[in-house]
């Protein structure tokens, strides 16, 4: 079973439906025990970083996610679910992240507005492939995925950035380490390639 972690935030139903459309047993759950016992887990996230972190902690699912990650089973963060895995965020103040990856979540610089770009980035953007990995089978540089975000992060350690993207600045579109992976874009909204990535995740032997 793939647990879609429900901590009061996130695009839960669309993630669940996307995985189910691929033939996987995906279930939205707020039960910490079910999360830990799941075969795979997905941490979605939509909204402000601090609110998402508070919801995760207050629900008891922060500890459940940590226990799950320690099992070595496949774990996927999406959007703010990716940002939460980093050290901290500067969204409306400074907030501590979960610290699995080194880096700070920052707002896109206002200077890009003068170049005709809008904040948030909302829509399709191309990615650059930075590594070879089973999760990236069938995905190549130049492919497009769907983004909705005002804040982004650049991984500050070597060997974890799987995909990068440029929107005024260069940022990490996907990171992977051990059994953890996370995307800034929404694979569940990224049509054929997004579903392909989710299929790779559902079949990932890490």
pLDDT digits (tens, 9 = 90+) for 164-199: 999 999 999 999 999 999 999 999 999 999 999 999
First to last CA, the chain: 16
Give the single-character DSSP code of 36: H
Mean pLDDT of 5-29: 93
Please provide the average confidence, as pLDDT, over all residues in the chain.
96
CATH code assigned at 95: 3.40.50.880
What is the per-residue pLDDT for 165?
98
Determine contact, residues 177/77, Cβ cutoff 8 Å: no
For 158, counting Cβ atoms within 10 Å of its Cβ (0-12 exposed, 13-18 middle, 19+ buried), the class is exposed
Write the pLDDT tens digit of every residue in 71-86.
999 999 999 999 999 9
Catalytic residue among 95, 161, 188, 196: 188
CB atoms inside a 10 Å sphere around CB 27: 16
Q: Is 133 a catalytic residue?
A: no
Mean pLDDT of 51-80: 95
Q: Is 33 a catalytic residue?
A: no
Count structural domains, the chain. Answer: 1
What is the per-residue pLDDT for 160?
98
Please report which confidence band the pLDDT of residue 19 belongs to, taking 50, 70 and 90 as the band edges. Answer: very high
Q: Is 166 a catalytic residue?
A: no
What are the distances in angstroms from CA 15 to CA 1, 143, 185?
14, 20, 12
Question: Angle of helix 61-71 relative to helix 49-58, nearest 10 degrees?
Answer: 80
For 106, counting Cβ atoms within 10 Å of its Cβ (0-12 exposed, 13-18 middle, 19+ buried), the class is middle
CA distance 149 to 162: 19
Mean pLDDT of 24-47: 96
Catalytic residue among 16, 52, 165, 186: 186
Instruction: Please give the angle made by the CA atoms of 43, 44 and 50, to the nearest 5 degrees.
Output: 95
pTM (two decimals): 0.96
Domain that holds residue 90: 2-203
Catalytic residue among 79, 91, 152, 161: 79
Q: Which two tokens stand for residue 167?
A: 């929107």
CA distance 18 to 5: 15
């Amino acid at each position: 079973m793939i647990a879609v972690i429900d901590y009061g935030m996130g695009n839960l139903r669309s993630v669940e439906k996307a995985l189910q459309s691929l033939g996987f047993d995906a279930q939205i759950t707020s039960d910490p025990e079910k999360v830990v016992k799941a075969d795979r887990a997905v941490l979605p996230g939509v909204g402000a970083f601090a609110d998402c972190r508070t919801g995760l902690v207050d629900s008891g699912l922060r500890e459940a996610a940590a226990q799950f990650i320690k099992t070595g089973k496949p774990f996927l963060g999406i959007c703010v679910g990716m940002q939460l895995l980093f050290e901290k965020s500067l969204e409306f103040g400074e907030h501590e992240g979960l610290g699995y990856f080194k880096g700070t979540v920052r707002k896109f610089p206002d200077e890009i507005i003068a170049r005709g770009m809008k904040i948030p980035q909302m829509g399709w953007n191309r990615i650059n492939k930075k590594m070879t990995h089973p999760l990236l089978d069938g995905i190549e540089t130049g492919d497009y995925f769907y983004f909705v975000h005002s804040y982004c992060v650049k991984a500050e350690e070597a060997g974890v950035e799987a995909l990068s993207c440029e929107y005024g600045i260069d940022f990490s579109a996907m990171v992977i380490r051990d059994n953890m992976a996370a995307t800034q874009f929404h694979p569940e909204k990224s049509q054929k390639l997004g579903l392909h990535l989710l299929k790779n995740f559902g079949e990932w032997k890490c």
